Amino acid sequence: MAEQKEGSSVQLHQEDVDKNIGDPLGTPLITQEEKIKPPAAVVGSPSSAVKVEAGQDNGKSSSASSTERHISIQTKLEGLEMLVELNGAGRKACPLCPEEKFKACYSHKLRRHLQNLHWKVYVDFEGQRMCICHLPCRQLKPSLSGDQATGRLVAHYHCVVCSVTIARKTDMISHLKRHVNKGETEASYTGGSDVPFEDPIPIGQAYEIMKELGTNVQLLPNHTTPQKSDTYFNRKMKTNRQLVFCSLAVLAEERNPLECLDAFGATGIMGLQWAKHLRNAVKVTITDINEACVKMIRENCHLNHIRVEGGRVPRHTDATGDVEGLPIASVEVVKMDANVIMHLRPFDYIHLDPFGTAVNYLDAAFRNVRNLGIVSVTSTDTGSLYSKALNVTLRHYSCQIVRTEYYRELAARMVVATIARAAARCNKGIEVLLAVAVEHFVLVVVRVLRGPTQADESAKKVRQLIHCQWCEERVFLKAGSMVEENLYRQLPCNCHGSMPGKTAVELGPLWAGPLFNTGFLRRMLFAAVHHSMDDIQPLVKTLLCESECTTLKSFSTHGHFLHSSQVECGVVIKTLQKAEEATSADQSGKRKSTEESGNVVKKSKPDASLEHPPFYYSIHRHSIRGMNMPKLNKFLQYLTEAGFRVSRTHFDPTGVRTDATLTQFKSVLTKYSVPTYATSSQTGSIGLSAEEGARKVE
């Protein structure tokens, strides 16, 4: 019977080949050897597969790569029962079980077997149900002696997409999810004679159009899975993209046009936002190593009416692909590794946002970055940054850390220290403009200062941190200190005398300098207001208060803080003046020949007293047991009245950044805390006095 089925299928295949040979529509000719070649059989015995004819309506060919499916894949229970003629007389064998596992039986018993064993534990995928199969379809693994194990046959499922066999149901469900994440949702065969054939859906209709900051991007159905998707897009990184955009807008005020690089394009959303809003002030280059990403970036450029310049095409060439109107900007799209393009070309602004850590790209980033340029680094490897994988932390950042109450700032300072060492290897120094650790990422924005002297100054700010494991007091190790003998003596706490064992540990190396620049943050706030970025304005205001270590929240975003010159990163930077300032300068007739908008005038030594204190204390971590703490804003006021500098911190909503020591912090907290059970204790004392009075009466 099986030989007759195979012969009939070969004959049908032969007739189809004969029709294709005589097709007048220009189909390629088929040789005689290919003409007599039978179709490929599925895994297993010939009786374990069903041939399904391909659709031949109007000469259309099926999009499926094969026209065969395993008999365990059915759409209805009737289809599974139709494999065996249950209405006939006599004993019948199960089509999904070998003879040694399930012997031939009568129809009523076989029907129950198919329903309760094979159909009951199916895996559904887009209407196709994969029943469990007991046939010897899987490749048996050889034993230690070299012989194949023949004693036990493993039950399995046949994948509806790729025809692979998987033993466990949960593994098959996970396997199908991976197909969906990759965008593979069509089966590798025609569903069956009872399911009509449908033409494949065009790829453009499967895209999702998303708009962010006036920029449209196309997203694939699997855009949320970075390990399985080619064009990854994370909606939660909107805050990160806006902060990076504001930092670039501030640099564009100093000098333009800027050569800026988005080293990991994915969908190209970040580079497109730069080009669309900053226009001629920037020359954007978006690069990615994946061909699918490059294709998607080009399509998104045309979607936003941005001219695409890729490869070796010069920038002045005309675009040929704009559908509506003239291009509003131009973007260069390059398929190249990030390290390669950063080694080949210089840039003024570089943004690194790989999936995970960015340590593999720091050396190339500082290789050709221009003087006073900016490098922004986004790290999403929170497992190693937040002390959850200490071996990975040591491998990537060469840093020893433990879990502390200030772990977010510890992660930011660890990333900055790694960036500083990478810059120093290229004879460049850095000044930190911004260091943010929110949600699931750490963003660090640094300005590059060229020269070995600047590199030495930056390297000196990378120090070890002494941390007390009992009270979590911390202090940076002073230069030239004997670590082994005087480790605990540098801490202001007395835990080493009152607590047994080793109380202090050495963490690091970490960045010991400031994490924020006030002037740069003020201009970022102005850029956020100018471009209507309402989402990050509260965050930037918090960072501004944190950089000045103050609780004042009176900010003006309309220009009186935009002076003609500002001291940033130890450098006096000439910024763009307003129209009224330029008019008054023209009327006075005084103009310096060396002063232009965006030029660096001189270098000045930064005032160390204005730097914000490192780290912060959590008010809940150091609360007194049995005492009600004051409200956080009230407590900040009490610390200010005590003569300390104090501010909130974005790293922790319950954190307090202050220059007070932990002992002073706790003393103020204890002074203004109220006992929790004050009322109940008073009631108890009243009851006790009444009891004593009763005894006296007796």
Average pLDDT, stretch 612-640?
A: 90
Residue 81 token pair: 């029962």
Cα–Cα distance list, 566 to 53, 349, 546, 575, 672 (Å): 77, 20, 19, 8, 41
Amino acid 230: pLDDT:
62
Give the pLDDT mean for 431-455: 95
Inform me whether the pLDDT recorded for 162 exceeds 80.
yes
pLDDT digits (tens, 9 = 90+) for 84-93: 878 777 888 8
Contact 187, 196 (CB under 8 A): no
Take residue 243 and report the two structure tokens written for it: 């902060």
At residue 139, the pLDDT reads 56
Answer whether 511's CB lies under 8 Å from 420's CB: yes
Q: pLDDT tens across 658-683, in order?
A: 999 999 999 999 999 988 875 444 44
pLDDT of residue 46: 35
Which residue from 9, 68, 71 is spatially nearest to 190, judged by alpha carbons?
Answer: 68
Band (553; pLDDT cuts 50, 70, 90) = low
pLDDT band at residue 61 using 50, 70 and 90 as cut-offs: very low
Cα–Cα distance list, 477 to 105, 187, 464 (Å): 83, 63, 5
Instruction: Please write the tens of the pLDDT for every residue from 361-407.
Output: 999 999 999 999 999 999 999 999 999 999 999 999 999 999 999 99
Q: Which residue type occupies 661? A: T
- Mean pLDDT for 149-165 is 75
419-446 burial by CB neighbour count: b if 16+ within 10 A, else e? Answer: bbbbbbebebbbbbbbbbbeeebbbbbb
pLDDT recorded at residue 66: 40
- Predicted confidence (pLDDT) at residue 240 exceeds the cutoff of 80: yes
Residue pair 66/189 in contact by the 8 Å Cβ criterion: yes
pLDDT band at residue 226 under the 50/70/90 scheme: low
445 falls in which pLDDT band (50, 70, 90)? Answer: very high
Residue keyed to tokens 């999702």: 208
Residue 154: the pLDDT is 79
- Whether 422 shows a pLDDT value over 90: the answer reads yes
Taking 60 as the threshold, does the pLDDT of residue 218 lie above it? yes
Closest Cα to residue 445, out of 386, 559, 527, 387?
527
Q: Decide: helix, strand or coil at residue 263.
A: coil
User: For the ranges 21-30, 88-97, 617-626, which has the lowest average pLDDT?
Assistant: 21-30
Euclidean distance between CA atoms 545 and 565, whole angstroms: 21
Please state the rounded mean pLDDT for residues 108-130: 86
Mean pLDDT of 481-504: 72
Confidence of residue 604 (pLDDT cuts 50, 70, 90): very low
* pLDDT grade for 167, boundaries at 50, 70 and 90: confident
The whole-model pTM stands at: 0.65
Pairwise CA distance, residues 23 & 615, whole Å: 77
Lowest-confidence range among 254-268, 273-287, 598-612? 598-612
What dihedral do alpha carbons 382, 387, 392, 394 form, nearest 10°? Answer: 130
DSSP state letters, 436-480: EEETTEEEEEEEEEESHHHHHHHHHTEEEEEEETTT--EEEPPTT
Question: What integer best gives the mean pLDDT of the chain?
Answer: 76
CA angle, residues 542, 543, 546, in degrees to nearest 5:
90
Read off the pLDDT band of 193 (50, 70, 90). Answer: very low
Contact (Cβ atoms closer than 8 angstroms) between residue 645 and residue 597: no
Confidence of residue 201 (pLDDT cuts 50, 70, 90): very low
- Of all residues in the chain, what percent carry a pLDDT higher than 90? 41
Contact (Cβ atoms closer than 8 angstroms) between residue 130 and residue 157:
yes
Cα–Cα distance for residue pair 28/46, rounded to 1 Å:
30
Reply yes or no on whether the pLDDT at 610 is more than 80.
no
DSSP assigned state of 353: -
The pLDDT tens digits of the residues spanning 508-530 come to 899 999 999 999 999 999 999 99
Cβ burial of 1 (10 Å; 0-12, 13-18, 19+) is: exposed
Question: Is the per-residue pLDDT at 286 higher than 80?
Answer: yes
